[in-house]
């Protein structure tokens, strides 16, 4: 039996978890590069009985799953994975398992990006590195207004951190209720009020047909000229073309992205040269503590599956 571990960019999977517990009769191959869907990816994955996916780095649509006749178990890290066609997997007799996820790492990165934008950390660092000194006047988080779009598990964590910084927090999403806002301790407002009022806007929603392109040209036009938008959720929620236009035209103060419509971000993508845009390579969950949970629970899931024991199944919830 063969096991494939995909998209281990840092080449740490074998160090973090004890894959040797399966014994010599099961081989484990780790791939540190990323392949897009196509003949090369199919040829790579076809020999494997078990595939371990790191979040949504490699999508598994029906077209791919149908070309993997040996595949019996697909383990994804994290609580959910919208890039796996569960209906297709069920029809093909493929068991799909998931792990837990602490989530707070992404909330911490959101605050990191917010602070970096507020204090122009990237520009100040570059200035000192090249022999310069102070080049910008920063702004405080204390007293500023944070607009949270999506007040689920991650949005609530960000709201709590922002409150600790002395920020005023407002929130909106399509189905957000007054009761939920009172539970978290934030103010419920309309989408327009949030965009027009917030000094920082942060997004914490799942990508769906309803949320795709949710923040586009009209939404960015509502924001203050010195406001910032941060997206650590999913790339498709922010219209990248509209964001680049807004930044080139000085329509908003700046932005920070950890997620992109296409990942990894193509080498010559125009986002890479857009002014006042802070970019990180989808590292919201990339911490030692989170990886420890991801990889060890992946090994646990495989061991349980091989032993015929119950495992945590991935659902659409």
With 90 as the cut, is the pLDDT of residue 315 above it?
no
Sign, CA torsion 48/50/52/56: positive
With 70 as the cut, is the pLDDT of residue 317 above it?
no
Q: Do 300 and 171 fall within a single domain?
A: no
Q: Is residue 315 part of a domain?
A: no
Of the CA atoms within 13 Å of residue 14, those in its CB half-sphere come to 11
Q: Do 48 and 161 fall within a single domain?
A: no
Residue from 209, 229, 222, 223 nearest 110 by CA = 229
Backbone dihedral angles phi then psi of residue 225, each to the nearest 5 degrees: -65, -15
Average pLDDT over residues 187-207: 97
With 90 as the cut, is the pLDDT of residue 50 above it?
yes
CATH number at residue 42: 3.40.50.720
Average pLDDT over residues 73-102: 95
Reported as a pLDDT band with limits 50, 70 and 90, residue 237 is very high
Q: Do 28 and 91 fall within a single domain?
A: yes
Q: Are strands 73-76 and 200-203 parallel, antiparallel or unpaired?
A: unpaired
Query: How many Cβ atoms from other residues are within 10 Å of residue 218's Cβ?
Result: 11
Q: What's the structural domain count of the chain?
A: 2
Q: Is residue 197 part of a domain?
A: yes
Average pLDDT over residues 107-111: 98
With 80 as the cut, is the pLDDT of residue 161 above it?
yes
Residues of the chain above pLDDT 70, percent: 99
pLDDT tens readout for residues 21-43: 998 889 999 999 999 999 999 99
Q: Is residue 259 part of a domain?
A: yes
pLDDT tens readout for residues 169-180: 999 999 999 999
Q: Is residue 271 part of a domain?
A: yes
Domain that holds residue 124: 104-279
Please, are residues 143 and 166 in contact by the beta-carbon 8 Å criterion?
A: yes
With 90 as the cut, is the pLDDT of residue 103 above it?
no
Q: Is residue 256 part of a domain?
A: yes
pLDDT of 23: 87
Q: Do 82 and 165 fall within a single domain?
A: no
Q: Do 84 and 114 fall within a single domain?
A: no
Please tell me the distance from the alpha carbon of residue 162 to that of residue 54, in angstroms, as a whole number: 29
Catalytic residue ranges: 234, 263, 282
Reported as a pLDDT band with limits 50, 70 and 90, residue 78 is very high
Q: Do 149 and 167 fall within a single domain?
A: yes
Average pLDDT over residues 38-66: 97
Q: Do 217 and 258 fall within a single domain?
A: yes
How high is the mean pLDDT of the chain?
Answer: 96
Q: Do 28 and 175 fall within a single domain?
A: no
Q: Do 41 and 167 fall within a single domain?
A: no
Q: Do 197 and 301 fall within a single domain?
A: no
Q: Do 131 and 223 fall within a single domain?
A: yes
């Amino acid at each position: 039996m063969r096991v494939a571990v995909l998209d281990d960019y840092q080449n740490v999977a074998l160090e973090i978890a004890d894959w040797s517990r399966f014994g010599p009769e099961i081989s484990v191959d780790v791939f540190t590069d990323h392949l897009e869907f196509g003949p090369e990816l199919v040829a790579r994955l076809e020999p494997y009985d078990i595939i371990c996916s790191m979040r949504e780095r490699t999508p598994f649509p029906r077209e791919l799953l149908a070309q993997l006749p040996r595949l019996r178990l697909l383990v994804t890290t994290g609580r959910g994975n919208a890039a796996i066609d569960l209906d297709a997997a069920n029809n093909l007799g493929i068991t799909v398992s998931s792990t837990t996820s602490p989530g707070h790492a992404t909330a911490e990165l959101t605050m990191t990006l917010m602070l970096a934008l507020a204090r122009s950390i990237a520009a100040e660092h570059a200035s000192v590195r090249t022999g310069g000194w102070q080049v910008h006047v920063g702004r405080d988080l204390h007293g500023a207004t944070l607009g949270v779009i999506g007040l689920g598990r991650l949005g609530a964590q960000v709201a709590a951190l922002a409150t600790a910084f002395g920020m005023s927090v407002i929130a909106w999403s399509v189905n957000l209720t007054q009761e939920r806002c009172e539970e978290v301790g934030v103010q419920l407002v309309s989408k327009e009020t949030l965009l027009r009022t917030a000094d920082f806007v942060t997004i914490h929603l799942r990508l769906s047909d309803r949320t795709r392109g949710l923040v586009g040209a009209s939404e960015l036009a509502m924001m203050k000229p010195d406001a910032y938008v941060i997206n650590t959720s999913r790339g498709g929620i922010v219209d990248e073309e509209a964001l680049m236009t807004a930044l080139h035209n000085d329509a908003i103060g700046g932005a920070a992205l950890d997620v992109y419509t296409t990942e990894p971000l193509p080498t010559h993508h125009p986002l890479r040269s857009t002014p006042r845009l802070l970019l990180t390579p989808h590292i919201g969950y990339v911490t030692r503590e989170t990886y420890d949970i991801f990889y060890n629970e992946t090994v646990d899931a495989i061991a349980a599956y091989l032993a015929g024991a119950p495992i945590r199944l991935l659902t659409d919830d």
